[in-house]
Chain A
Amino acid sequence: MKRLRLTLACAFLVTAWASAQEEFGPKGPVVTMAPAPVITAVQAKPTTVPLSFQVASGYHINSNHPKSEYLIPTALKVEATTDIVVGKIVYPDGQDMSFAFAPDEKLNVYTGDFKVDVVVHPLRSVEPGKYVVRGSLKYQACDNTACYPPKTLQVSFDVRVKKTPPAHAANPAQSPHAHQ
């Protein structure tokens, strides 16, 4: 029994050691998205949806405007829907940072938390209700010594569309007071 335990323990150690050899780089997604708040938008009016992302500690990703043509920009792609027009996507400015692999060079990157704003514009004809908007964030991460292939993070958020409120006493002729 003791021998079996010893054999199993040795097998585990060898496997764990082999596994540790391969454990270089991120173990999970480098970028995650915080649950997006449900945004209420009014028919025919643009509304901004703030999406919050987090880059795992020790990693950086390129900003939307990296300094080299060879670097892959972080980019959000939102799928077009028939009911809600997706307008401008506003990215934050990146931080100019130097890294150990090139101390004299500055890269424009996102680290930690960053926010991307998406402008949505429900059409006037859209039925009021909740709509799911889907998209994907493409990013390419590095740490202080290595880089990792580009990844795509699936993104989705809800937009609750409300009716356009009735015109508010804009026309005195329609005001109840006008008939008094």
Chain B
Amino acid sequence: MLFTGIRMSRENGAIGPKNGQLMGLTAPDFELQAIDGSSLKLSHLKGKAVLLNFWATYCEPCKVEMPWFVELQKQYGPQGLQIVGVAMDDAATEDIVKFAKDMGVNYPILLGKEAVSVTYGGVNVLPTTFFLDRNGKVIAREFGLQSRSVFVNHIKEALGQGGTVQAQK
């Protein structure tokens, strides 16, 4: 029974930690190039609450969330929130730049790498969003499109404002 469970678990993910296992742990650090040519190291954001959103240009549900993230960055940025997008597609950088511009994105968009995805449990579902508290610990993660209120709750919790966290999938 136990082995079956372990095998099932392995078959459903990439090599590396399951992203459920990241809960409560310090988010794996990475440094990635942003679409503006700069680079961003996650650990440099310590002290801020971070919403880390893995997305792709081909992902229509991701497109729905992005305008919310723009608003949430405006609303909660002054309180210490930093939204970070990680583009996980093979599209040309100029296409990602154009997409982000069309969406009016006001937060850093990084060019994702498989190696980073693996450290987050192999991001095979887009969008996948992690919420990190001010100490860089993973406090929540969501697979697929969620309602805006779910994001707000997690953001408040990440900021230390006591959001009501809903059950994880």
Contacts and interface: CB of A to CB of B under 8 A. Distances in A.
A101 B88 contact: no
Most chain A Cβ neighbours within 10 Å, of B4, B56, B95, B127 = B56
A70 B18 contact: no
A138 to B, nearest CB: 11
B74 to A, nearest CB: 23
Given A19-B5, A24-B143, A25-B124, A149 B61 contact: no
B2 interface: yes
A150 B5 CA distance: 27
B62 A147 contact: yes
A71 interface: yes
The bracket for how many chain B residues form the interface is 35 or more
Contacts of A145: 61, 144-145
Contacts, number: 95
A48 B144 CA distance: 40
Nearest to B55: A147
A107 B59 CA distance: 12
A132 interface: no
Contacts of A142: 59-61
Given A71-B58, A145-B144, A148-B126, A22 B20 contact: yes
Contact of B60 (A25, A69, A99): A99
B80 interface: no
Interface of A: 8-9, 11-12, 15-16, 18-19, 21-25, 27, 69-72, 99, 101-102, 105, 107, 140, 142, 145-150
Closest 3 CB pairs of A and B: A15-B5, A146-B144, A145-B144
